[in-house]
């Protein structure tokens, strides 16, 4: 807290994304990230129960935290209506996601981790403070726009690069696409994709869909034919 005051008094300009009103604890940051994700997914306020599920805690603990975040003006919170991030809260969440995804790129590209191993490590690394660290990491990696799971990395100004992608399930027989991301980030799913030889950038052609269970037969860029379940095709994104 004291350090922060010194910064403010000296009027040091911080990069836009890191301009904060008050320092946040790791727990607060995780809540902000959870709220960001829920609001994005639901396209509306995050309800206490939804936050409790993501944070794996009780609704009562969520309520306590929401009060703290609201006192810090990081969220707006109306009982029964849910939670929205304020501009400051949004900045903190975006900065965290940026750090998380940059670390994931680093771990996969530079340290040789598999894509199913890096999320847990990045959950810790994202809380390491230091704007200069993130700036240098970003430059070192060549300013990547997507993480190892195909998710967009916001830039230093908080801008996102979105691309047109759709679940493989939406393709019709004869359609071709390139694997660009996953909706299910679980290690189990990522390991399964590894086993199938389906990684980001893999070419795929949908050959046939079986009406019985909506599973599909596909041909990969290297000429292999695979049968994929309905669940897999809904969790795999392709760009056509
Ligand atoms: Zn992750």
Domains (ranges, CATH) in the chain? 1-161 (1.10.10.10), 166-239 (2.30.30.90)
What's the pLDDT at 80? 81
What's the pLDDT at 17? 57
What's the pLDDT at 78? 84
Distance from chain centroid for Cα 108? 16
What's the pLDDT at 130? 84
What's the pLDDT at 36? 96
What's the pLDDT at 13? 44
Whole-number Å distance, alpha carbon 100 to ligand 1 midpoint, is 6
- Report, as ranges of residue numbers, the positions in the chain whose pLDDT lies below 70: 1-22
Whole-number Å distance, alpha carbon 119 to ligand 1 midpoint, is 4
What's the pLDDT at 140? 98
What's the pLDDT at 21? 53
Whole-number Å distance, alpha carbon 239 to ligand 1 midpoint, is 21
Rounded to an integer, what distance in angstroms lies between the CA atom of residue 76 and that of residue 148?
A: 33
Whether this prediction's pTM lies above 0.85 is answered by no
Whole-number Å distance, alpha carbon 101 to ligand 1 midpoint, is 6
Whole-number Å distance, alpha carbon 160 to ligand 1 midpoint, is 16
What's the length of the chain? 240
Whole-number Å distance, alpha carbon 94 to ligand 1 midpoint, is 13
Whole-number Å distance, alpha carbon 14 to ligand 1 midpoint, is 26
User: Are 152 and 146 a contacting pair, CB within 8 Å?
Assistant: yes
What's the pLDDT at 162? 85
Query: Which residues are in the CB-under-5-Å shell of ion ligand 1?
Result: 119, 122
Handedness of CA 142, 146, 147, 150 (dihedral sign): negative
**Cα three-residue angle 61-64-67, rounded to 5 degrees:** 150
**Cα three-residue angle 159-105-129, rounded to 5 degrees:** 70
């Amino acid at each position: 807290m004291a350090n922060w005051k010194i910064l403010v008094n000296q009027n040091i300009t911080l990069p836009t994304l890191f301009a904060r009103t008050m320092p946040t604890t790791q727990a607060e940051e995780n809540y902000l990230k959870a709220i960001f994700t829920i609001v994005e997914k639901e396209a509306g306020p995050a309800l206490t129960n939804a936050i409790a599920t993501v944070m794996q805690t009780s609704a009562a603990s969520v309520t306590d935290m929401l009060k703290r975040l609201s006192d810090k003006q990081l969220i707006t919170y109306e009982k029964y209506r849910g939670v929205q991030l304020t501009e400051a809260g949004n900045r903190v969440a975006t900065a965290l996601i940026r750090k998380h995804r940059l670390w994931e790129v680093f771990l996969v590209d530079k340290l040789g981790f598999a894509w199913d191993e890096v999320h847990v490590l990045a959950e810790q690394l994202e809380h390491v403070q230091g704007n200069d660290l993130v700036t240098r990491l970003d430059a070192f990696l060549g300013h990547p726009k997507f993480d190892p799971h195909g998710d967009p990395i916001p830039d230093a100004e908080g801008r996102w690069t979105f691309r047109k992608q759709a679940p493989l399930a939406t393709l019709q027989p004869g359609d071709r696409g390139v694997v660009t991301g996953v909706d299910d980030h679980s290690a189990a799913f990522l390991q399964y994709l590894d086993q199938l030889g389906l990684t980001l950038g893999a070419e795929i052609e949908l050959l046939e869909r079986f009406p019985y269970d909506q599973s599909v037969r596909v041909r990969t860029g290297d000429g292999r034919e695979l049968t994929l379940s309905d669940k897999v095709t809904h969790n795999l994104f392709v760009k056509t």
